[in-house]
Structure 1
Amino acid sequence: MFEIKPYPELSWSLSRHKTMLTCVRKYAYDYYFSHNGWLKDADSLARQTYRLKKITNLEMHFGSVVHDLIYQTIQQVLKNQHIPDEQALTEEIRRHLNRGFIESTRKEHLWMNRPKHFTMLHEIYYSQSNKLPEAKVKKITNRLQATVKNFYSSRSFQDVLNKKHMRFIESEDFRFMKATGVKIFIVMDLVYKDLQKDQWIIVDWKTGKASDEDRNQLALYALYLKEKYDISSIEDIVIRNEYLLEGTHIEYQLKEQDLINVQHLYQISMEQMKAYLEDSSKNKPLPIENFPMQEDPRVCARCNYQELCFP
């Protein structure tokens, strides 16, 4: 039975860590002050914060739609169902993007009451306009064509098509691992074992540009996989980033030091997070005033919580 608690459970993820590094005030809103904001009898601040938390932007919405439809396409392959061609997948992505735009411009009242179930674009919400910036629309349109084409020709999708030599792991089989009693959330796009090479492969689809953090993210996934499936050597795991925008992929062969590094990152990050708690046993945060605001206006311009920080 679902239990309503006054404070959320303490957990950790790379995205949570990056949010804390970007802006501690945003971290507070995302992981504490939006808690229970989905409840009808929640206080007004929690409801407002929860709503704002659910705002997305055009690039993030595009990435989310692409990831969802790639997952569906791979499942269709594995279940021997009809596989959409490039044009059909492109049109389906475009349909989802258009729906997000319509919900943002014409159904704001529905989003206000059920923000988890409707889309609100940052570009629409904060501009108070029913138009998206032309430059962004052009950028996403160009990304759409390249992303779909490069997905179908990607190394990982070719492995999916060659499924008789692969053992695929259901995404439901990996959710989180635990360290020092804290849940570490894991979100892997694709995991399978190459039976011919006796290698495990972890794949992460990227719809944006490469970043220095990509390797750390997959190292965390490899640590989880090694523990869950009792894999004797980390060298039996290959991690691969598929950059769909450029049509390239990068593979890493991890060493034990990579796992030590990501564990060290977790330990330091948790110490920083606990410094913002008034009561660590309840995961009760300090008052909002103890979470300093970001001073870079460029970061604030992209943030969901502008109306809270600059009412």
Structure 2
Amino acid sequence: MFEVRNYPEMSWSLSRHKTMLTCLRKYAYDYYASHNGWLHNADSLARQTYRLKKITNLEMHFGSVVHELIYQIIQRVLKNQEIPSEEAVVDEIRHQLNRSFIESTKKEHLWQHRPKHYTMLHEIYYSQTNQLPKGKIDKITDRLHTTVSNFFASRSFSDVLNKSEMRFMESEKFRYMKVDGIKIFIVMDLLYKDLTQGNWVIVDWKTGKSSEEDRNQLALYALYLQQKHNIDSLDDIVIRNEYLLDGTHVDHQLKEQDLVNVQRLYGISLEQMQNLLINPNENIPKPIEQFSMQEDPRICARCNYQELCFPSTP
């Protein structure tokens, strides 16, 4: 049952860790000031912060739309339902992107009241022009057909179609494991066991480029799988990145040291997070003023909280 709490439950994820390292003020807004901002009786700062937290940008929104449609397609395959054509998927992505533009430019009043149910694009909210940068439009347009085509041709979708030899698990959901009583959140795009090879396969669809953080993400996946399904050997776990921009995939075989490294990262990171609290038992943060602001204007220009940090910002 949902319980209204004065302060959020302490948890950990790689995205939370990255936010803390990028900007402590953004970290405070994301994980504390916005808490309960969805409630009708929330104070004005909580409502405003929660609303701003929900802002997205064109690239992120594109990736979210693609991931959701991939999930829906895979579910249709597993339920023996008709699979949409590539062109139909492209049209649906284009439709959703157009809808997000309309919501951002013509339905801001609805987004203000229900930010979870309407899309607001960062490029629109902070530009005052009601126009998206042409370069971004061109980039997404170039990616659209390529991404969809490469998904249908991917190794992992081929495995999905060959479902009689695979055992699929629910994966596109928030999952977590507990370490010392604290939830570590993990999101996996696709998880199945190859019955012919005896391996577990975790798939991560990538609509952008690879990053240095990928390996820690993969190690968290492996840790979760070991804990959830009592897997003794890492040799039984294959983690695959499907790069939909260039149509390639990379299978990773992790070592025990990868797991040691990510557990060390978690321990150090959590200690830093707890140092930002005045009461770790109840997860009560220090005053917002004690969370320092980012000084790099390039990072600030991409942030959702410009109007809070720089009140003169429209």
Shorter-chain TM-score: which interval?
over 0.9
Letter in 2 for 1:44: S
8 Å contact kept, 1:150–1:247 = yes
TM-score by length of 1: 0.98
Runs of 4+ in 1 over 2 A off after TM superposition: 171-174
C-alpha displacement at 1:37, in angstroms? 0.6
1:199-231 CA deviation, whole Å, 9 max, x = no partner?
Answer: 001010010111111121011011101111111
How many percent of aligned residue pairs carry the same amino acid? 74
2:180 pairs with 1:190: no
Structure 2: runs of 5 or more not aligned: none
Letter in 1 for 2:286: L
1:48 & 1:2 partners in 2: Cα distance? 22
Two-structure CA RMSD over aligned residues (Å)? 1.0
- State the secondary structure of the residue aligned to 1:201: strand
C-alpha displacement at 1:299, in angstroms? 0.3
C-alpha displacement at 1:181, in angstroms? 0.7
8 Å contact kept, 1:90–1:144 = yes
2:21 & 2:108 partners in 1: Cα distance? 31
2:50 pairs with 1:53: no
C-alpha displacement at 1:232, in angstroms? 1.6
8 Å contact kept, 1:214–1:241 = no
Letter in 1 for 2:95: R
Equivalent residue, structure 1, for 2:216: 216
Equivalent residue, structure 2, for 1:91: 91
C-alpha displacement at 1:235, in angstroms? 1.1
Equivalent residue, structure 2, for 1:14: 14
TM-score by length of 2: 0.97
1:263-308 CA deviation, whole Å, 9 max, x = no partner?
Answer: 1111011001001001111100000111110111100000000000
- Structure 1 residues 241 and 172: CA distance shift in structure 2, 3 A: closer
Equivalent residue, structure 2, for 1:112: 112
Q: How many residues align?
A: 311
C-alpha displacement at 1:2, in angstroms? 2.1
C-alpha displacement at 1:130, in angstroms? 1.4
- State the secondary structure of the residue aligned to 2:187: coil
- Structure 1 residues 243 and 179: CA distance shift in structure 2, 3 A: same
2:236 pairs with 1:236: yes
- Please list, as runs of the form range in 1=range in 2, the aligned pairs for 1:37-52 lying within 5 A after superposition: 37-52=37-52
1:259 & 1:234 partners in 2: Cα distance? 10
- Please list, as runs of the form range in 1=range in 2, the aligned pairs for 1:262-273 lying within 5 A after superposition: 262-273=262-273
8 Å contact kept, 1:192–1:201 = yes
- Please list, as runs of the form range in 1=range in 2, the aligned pairs for 1:57-206 lying within 5 A after superposition: 57-171=57-171, 175-206=175-206
- State the secondary structure of the residue aligned to 1:73: helix
1:215 & 1:259 partners in 2: Cα distance? 10
2:249 pairs with 1:249: yes
1:292 & 1:174 partners in 2: Cα distance? 30
Which deviates more from structure 2 when the two are superposed, residues 36-45 or residues 173-182? 173-182
C-alpha displacement at 1:172, in angstroms? 6.9
